[in-house]
Amino acid sequence: MDPIEFIQESARSITNTMHKLKLKYNPFSEKPIRGNTKFFVGRVSELREIGEILGSAMHGSVANAAIVGTKGIGKSSMLNIIYYATKKQGHWVVELTASQITPRQFLIQLLYNILTENLFTINGTIKSDYLEYSSKIIDMYKKLNNYGDKVPIHYPRERIERDLEFLINEVKDRNKLCIILIDEADQFAKKSCLSLLQFFHSFLYEEGILTFLAGSPTLMEDLTKISPPIKDRIPKIINMPPLSTEESYDLIRRRLEDAHIEGAEEFEPFTREAIDKIVELCDGIPRKIIMTCSESISIAIKKNLNKIDEKIVSEAIHSLGISIGHQILNHLTPAQSEIVKAMAKLGGSTTVTQLSEYLKKSPGTIGTHLSDIYEMGYIYKERKGNNVYYRLSRELIDVLLGDKNELEM
């Protein structure tokens, strides 16, 4: 057989299958929302609260906020909506991800993004509003632009802090806010970030700066453990609950509608029972819903089906591994999940000492986390001779030590 023909034939057959499913494309690929609000559902009270925070900040009463919720609940999407909403109002706004960067890199990125996202036009020239400061701005920009992970730049930290303050206090229009959006802020709840948090204590209190952090449900507790005063600086907590049943249906309906070929019915190619099952099993977590729908469609394409029933949904859920073990993992805080993963790496049953050596954390810290996880029933305790061993529950062993396990992801 001709390999070229073969590829073409296979591609054509996918087109045919998609047609049978009444879809132009798989509408559940996880593309970031990025300013596209077509598929955004619910969150009315959270959006209202954000609007109120913004309005108050514009009138001089700044209350920074933490947007918290479990994995895949929609925190990053919310930050993204704030980004576009505030940009449209002419405020300065920067979006940063805290994970995987050091405090120094963070400050550098903060300064760099404030400059590039707000003071320059798309063509790379300084916006006319800021021309009077151009030499200083260009000087900062040049220094930062040479910055790479490997090449350290000569930009002492105090200098960065002073330049940030200069931008906010001198260059920025008094009537505008500088909105700082920090995603995955759990990263800052580490001892090594203490100095950064301390810098934020004063910085977050400058007039005209409004900060939104996004992170896990325990974000504020974790930050407060490292630096107690941070709590006063971030007085608002916006808790993201799961989507309601109605909103879950709505999410699926809107995405399907967009991808339907003419004449398709509301939830086609899914049967009503299949949709009910997805909504029921995904607990209102948008990412879970999207992934389950997407996987179901992929399976239907592979099997050349024209409809997706409950059986296909079960298969999708199974192949995605949205098992009890995964649900437990999603439920754990980052610190707790680090511990259960370390337990898996050490064979599934360990002592506090072994874990504390492996993770290079104090036995006290490890012990506290272990007892929290134990209280929730996800690990067992056993005495062997003089030692107490903690052992992973069946569900966690399945997900962490199974064939396709989380540790490699």
Ligand X SMILES: Nc1ncnc2c1ncn2[C@@H]1O[C@H](COP(=O)(O)OP(=O)(O)OP(=O)(O)O)[C@@H](O)[C@H]1O
The residues that touch Mg ion, with contacts defined as CB under 5 A, are 76
Nearest residue to Mg ion by CB is 76
In the complex, what is the shortest distance from the CB of residue 294 to ligand X, in angstroms, rounded to a whole number?
10
Quick check: 331 binds ligand X (CB under 6 A)? no
83 contact choice in Mg ion, ligand X, none (CB below 5 to 8 Å, kind-dependent): none
**The two structure tokens encoding residue 271:** 């049967």
27 contact choice in Mg ion, ligand X, none (CB below 5 to 8 Å, kind-dependent): none
Binding mask 228-267 for ligand X (x = CB under 6 A): -----------------------x----------------
Q: Which residue reads 């540790």 in tokens?
A: 407
Quick check: 143 binds ligand X (CB under 6 A)? no
Measured distance CA(336)–CA(218) in Å, rounded: 11
What's CA 371's distance to the chain center, in Å?
A: 27
Which span (66-74, 88-96, 359-367, 375-383) binds ligand X, by CB under 6 A? Answer: 66-74
Nearer to Mg ion, 57 or 181 (CB): 181
Report the site for ligand X in 267-326 (rule: CB under 6 A).
Answer: 286-287, 290
Nearer to ligand X, 81 or 94 (CB): 81
**The two structure tokens encoding residue 386:** 């003089």
Backbone angles phi, psi at 361, to 5 degrees: -130, 160
Nearer to ligand X, 100 or 175 (CB): 100
Nearer to ligand X, 30 or 246 (CB): 30
- Helix/strand/coil percent split, the chain, to 5: 55, 10, 30
Length of the chain (residues): 409
Measured distance CA(148)–CA(296) in Å, rounded: 42
Give first-to-last CA distance, the chain, whole Å.
37
Applying CB under 6 A, among 71, 87, 190, 345 the residue interacting with ligand X is 71
Which of 370, 67, 362, 371 has its CA nearest to residue 191? Answer: 362
In the complex, what is the shortest distance from the CB of residue 395 to ligand X, in angstroms, rounded to a whole number?
21
Which span (75-83, 168-176, 191-199, 333-341) binds ligand X, by CB under 6 A? Answer: 75-83
73 contact choice in Mg ion, ligand X, none (CB below 5 to 8 Å, kind-dependent): ligand X
- Asked if the bond preceding 3 is cis, omega within 30° of 0, the reply is no
Q: Which residue reads 């209350």 in tokens?
A: 63
Nearer to Mg ion, 185 or 373 (CB): 185
Nearer to ligand X, 73 or 352 (CB): 73
From residue 408, alpha-carbon distances to 99, 391, 400, 405 in Å are 19, 20, 9, 6
Quick check: 76 binds ligand X (CB under 6 A)? yes
DSSP code of residue 2: -
Nearer to ligand X, 163 or 247 (CB): 247
Which of 304, 212, 352, 402 has its CA nearest to residue 19? Answer: 304
Whether residue 403 contacts residue 397, with contact meaning beta carbons closer than 8 Å, is answered with no
155 contact choice in ligand X, Mg ion, none (CB below 5 to 8 Å, kind-dependent): none
Applying CB under 6 A, among 30, 129, 273, 280 the residue interacting with ligand X is 30
Nearest residue to ligand X by CB is 74
**The two structure tokens encoding residue 363:** 């036995």
112 contact choice in Mg ion, ligand X, none (CB below 5 to 8 Å, kind-dependent): none
Nearer to Mg ion, 76 or 296 (CB): 76
Quick check: 39 binds ligand X (CB under 6 A)? yes
3-state secondary structure of 336: helix
Nearer to ligand X, 101 or 305 (CB): 101
Applying CB under 6 A, among 77, 187, 294, 296 the residue interacting with ligand X is 77
Which span (33-41, 53-61, 94-102, 261-269) binds ligand X, by CB under 6 A? Answer: 33-41
Give residues with Cβ within 8 angstroms of 132, minimum separation 6.
Answer: none
In the complex, what is the shortest distance from the CB of residue 75 to Mg ion, in angstroms, rounded to a whole number?
5
Whether residue 161 contacts residue 108, with contact meaning beta carbons closer than 8 Å, is answered with no
From residue 280, alpha-carbon distances to 245, 272, 277, 292 in Å are 8, 12, 5, 12
Nearer to Mg ion, 99 or 102 (CB): 99
Measured distance CA(288)–CA(294) in Å, rounded: 10
Measured distance CA(41)–CA(62) in Å, rounded: 28
In the complex, what is the shortest distance from the CB of residue 318 to ligand X, in angstroms, rounded to a whole number?
21
Quick check: 391 binds ligand X (CB under 6 A)? no
Measured distance CA(241)–CA(68) in Å, rounded: 9
Contact footprint for ligand X (CB under 6 A): 30, 33, 39-43, 69, 71-77, 251, 286-287, 290
